A and B are shown apart, each in its own frame.
Chain A
Amino acid sequence: MTTDITVQLDRVSKRFGDFTAVKELSMTVRAGRVFGLLGPNGAGKTTTIRMIVNITAPDTGTIQLFGARIDPALQDRIGYLPEERGLYRRMKIVDQLRFFAELKNVRNVEKKIDEWLARVKLSEWKHKRSLELSKGMQQKIQFLTAVLHDPDLLILDEPFSGLDPINVELLKEIVLDLKRAGKTIIFSTHQMEVAERICDDICLLNRSQKVFEGSLREIKSSFGRNSVAVRCEGGDGVLDDPALVSKLVRHADEAQALLAQGADAQVLLRRLIDSGARIGKFEMVEPSLNDIFITKVTENA
């Protein structure tokens, strides 16, 4: 694991009028890793990203990029796919890609354009105008505008929203390839399930503040296996006992039970058998990121 730091925020705050969008945020994004910036809508994710890419400046605190004080010239080493994104409607795809590369001071990208278009399976759309493309296709082109200039830091804000599963898989593969090539990726989303699958490190934001930060592994193990996936017939009274189960989520054919403080999974299993329930599945599971987030947020509130 490399200890190089790509982005470092130190007690960064940003206010808009009376509203504090980001409050005293410190976080560290390590090089060559996928960093998940997570949180519900309005938590301050986009504002944080805008400060990292130097669109807005923080009111207080400092931001370091690649070990240096943030500077417009460093923008060229960042690839940014904002959540609010678009293309010029009447411009040909190839012209748009070339233009966005030029804005990053990169020239002679013809070959790269062809390679990338082939990679996202849009080669035959090269000379079409963007208004002729479907929304999903446009989204892939927007993704290309963020990676075409071969950035060292790639920031993706909700990159998969609105994409079908095949294309999500395609882009996910590309992101993981870039990571393998040593790029740093900041991945912002409110979809915890997506983040869970690709992030190495995460930082959870809620109401402008950091809830916690660290590697996904560590966070999960620190929470312990206090969740049980159960599939059984009967035994409803047992699962509803607050002394054993603090939270119960029922899915189609099974339920997820979060054990109450101090409760033992073995006790739960015995009580279920005693109650005469037929058990199809009883498995200790890691808490989902979603569960962790909800727990953490309610703890802080």
Chain B
Amino acid sequence: MTKFLAIIKREYIQRVRARMFIVSTIVLPLVMSLFGIVPAVVLSIDAGGPMRVAVVDQTGKIYTRLEEALVNDEQPAEQPDQFRSTPSVGGRSFVFEQVVSVGPDADEQRARLEQRLGNKEIDGYLILPPDFLQHGKAEFFNNNPGDVLSSRVLRSALNRALREQRLIEANVDPATRQGLFQPVDLQSVKMGASGEERDSGERFFLVFGVGFVMYLAILMYGQIILGAVIEEKETRIAEILFSSVKPFTLMMGKLVGVSLVALTQLLIWATAFGAFALYGVNLLASRGLKVNIPSVPLAHYVYFVLFFLLGYFIYATIYALVGSMVTTAQEGGQLAMPIILILVVSFYLFLPVSRSPDSSFSFWVSMIPFSAPVAMLVRIVAQTPPFWQIALSLLIGFGTVVAIMWIASRIYRVGMLMYGKRASIPEALRWARQA
């Protein structure tokens, strides 16, 4: 037992002291928040300035409407929440220039516009034919047909302009017109035990965040185990260790030691998250930035730890097994690929599971031990299933952990002393049977 503790202690202290641990503890939350912010920022970067568009309005009525529509589109009357995925429709701005239609001599005018387009004086030109109001057909010429975003913004603005003009011609009064354009404000409401809870996107991000942290932590700490086992094999420390402790004690000490490192890191993150929820939100609110962080019941933290440990012990044990079979880190990486694949798939399952947490599909994937950690946790956060399901999932999971550990420890003790060549899988299975 004291030897077991010595191994845990070494594993814990060496890792928590390492620069790697400190860096990842600080950097990961930053990276995560960047994932949230960067896409919005990047999309709002208006590379190359506003798009200059020449408009040949042969109807003579649409041009002003179009300008109005674009302004309205860019500043929506009401912003439903701070998590809009495409803020200000990509932030593409336009500068319009009205070109007076010269009637019959359209071809010559067009040639002139082509020339200006070629000289880069304008970025595109839009031709609204005289029958535009009836058929709604317009042509947009530009140098960059791949700029889907701009075309989409332009199309929606044109749509609005056209509709508005048609309504005007149908003699609809301005108040009614405005009412017609009032945007929909759809809010999904989660039914909870404590009555209803307003939900406008934050919960999705919470589900995503929790699933992602779970996936990342399992992957990261699984890889750490892989590296640790390979180090002991590569540097031939294993033989000295085995002359003092049983292979099973060594493997378990390693797994438990690293799991404590992981829990330490998760605790730091949880504390930081909690502190942000308490103080950071208020601070941001006082500067006029409203952030809603959904309240997370204490039980969810407990479940998170339980399912993290479940996922960690399943995958890390397999990683330890793989590490004992290979001779170099590269070989380890190759042999670990299928494991990562399973892990990635189980992470992406969070999408269908979060969409319908009580479907039978969600039920089954949250019972399969390899996908349960992410899937069950996503279910708990999205729509807490009955307790027996959670308990059953944990029971199946930890039963699997015991089985995997039993097999792994047998392969591990043979594998760790095999130098020279990588063990094949049938070979490893034979060790498991014989040992």
Q: Is the CB of B239 within 8 A of A76?
A: no
Q: Is the CB of B235 within 8 A of A89?
A: yes
Residues of A within 8 A of B234 (CB): 86
Report the bound CA distance from A142 to B243 in whole Å.
14
Q: Is the CB of A103 within 8 A of B3?
A: yes
Q: Is the CB of A82 within 8 A of B240?
A: yes
Q: Is A78 an interface residue (CB 8 A)?
A: yes
Residues of B within 8 A of A91 (CB): 10, 14
Q: Which of B7, B231, B240, B244 contacts A85 (CB 8 A)?
A: B240
Q: Is the CB of A99 within 8 A of B6?
A: yes
Q: Which of B231, B239, B246 contacts A82 (CB 8 A)?
A: B239
Contact A89 B240, CB 8 Å, known A84-B419, A102-B2:
no
Q: Closest B-chain residue to A107, C-beta based?
A: B2
Q: Closest A-chain residue to B247, C-beta based?
A: A55
Q: Is B242 an interface residue (CB 8 A)?
A: yes
Q: Is A133 an interface residue (CB 8 A)?
A: no
> Which of B3, B237, B241, B243 neighbours the largest number of chain A CB atoms within 10 Å of its CB?
B243
Per-position contact with B for A87-109: 1 when CB-CB < 8 Å, else 0?
A: 11111000100011011110000
Q: Is A9 an interface residue (CB 8 A)?
A: no
Q: Which of A55, A86, A90 contacts B236 (CB 8 A)?
A: A86
Q: Is B417 an interface residue (CB 8 A)?
A: yes
Tell me the B384-434 residues at the A interface (CB within 8 Å): 417, 419
Q: Closest B-chain residue to A102, C-beta based?
A: B6
Tell me the A92-149 residues at the B interface (CB within 8 Å): 95, 99-100, 102-105, 142, 145-146
Q: Is the CB of B237 within 8 A of A88?
A: yes
> Which range holds the interface residue count of chain A?
20 to 34
Q: Is B245 an interface residue (CB 8 A)?
A: yes
Q: Which of A54, A78, A105, A146 contacts B3 (CB 8 A)?
A: A105
Residues of B within 8 A of A102 (CB): 2-3, 6
On chain B, the number of residues with a Cβ less than 8 Å from chain A's Cβ atoms is 22
Q: Is the CB of B3 within 8 A of A55?
A: no
Q: Closest B-chain residue to A89, C-beta based?
A: B235
Majority-rule SS of B interface residues = helix
Report the bound CA distance from A86 to B239 in whole Å.
9
Report the bound CA distance from A75 to B7 in whole Å.
17
Q: Is A72 an interface residue (CB 8 A)?
A: yes
> Which of A53, A95, A103 neighbours the largest number of chain B CB atoms within 10 Å of its CB?
A103
Q: Is B18 an interface residue (CB 8 A)?
A: yes
Q: Is the CB of A82 within 8 A of B3?
A: no
Q: Which of B2, B6, B237 contacts A87 (CB 8 A)?
A: B237
Tell me the B1-37 residues at the A interface (CB within 8 Å): 2-3, 6-7, 10, 14, 18
Q: Is A187 an interface residue (CB 8 A)?
A: no
Report the bound CA distance from A100 to B240 in whole Å.
9
Q: Is the CB of A55 within 8 A of B237?
A: no
Residues of B within 8 A of A82 (CB): 236, 239-240, 243
Q: Closest B-chain residue to A130, C-beta based?
A: B235
Contact A90 B14, CB 8 Å, known A105-B2, A105-B3:
yes
Q: Which of A72, A76, A80, A95 contacts B240 (CB 8 A)?
A: A80
Q: Is the CB of B243 within 8 A of A80?
A: yes
Q: Is the CB of B14 within 8 A of A86?
A: no
Report the bound CA distance from A67 to B245 in whole Å.
22
Q: Is the CB of A104 within 8 A of B244?
A: yes
Q: Is the CB of B235 within 8 A of A78?
A: no
Q: How far in angstroms is the closest Cβ of chain B from A141?
A: 12
Q: Is the CB of A103 within 8 A of B419?
A: no
Interfacial residues, chain B to chain A (CB-CB below 8 A): 2-3, 6-7, 10, 14, 18, 231, 234-237, 239-246, 417, 419
19 further A-B pairs in the complex, CB-CB below 8 A; given A54-B243, A88-B235, A104-B244 = A50-B239, A50-B417, A55-B242, A78-B243, A80-B239, A82-B239, A84-B236, A85-B237, A85-B240, A86-B234, A87-B237, A88-B237, A95-B10, A100-B240, A102-B2, A103-B7, A103-B241, A103-B244, A105-B2
14 A-B pairs within 8 Å (CB atoms) are namely A80-B240, A82-B239, A82-B243, A84-B239, A85-B236, A85-B240, A86-B235, A87-B235, A88-B14, A90-B18, A99-B10, A102-B6, A103-B6, A105-B3
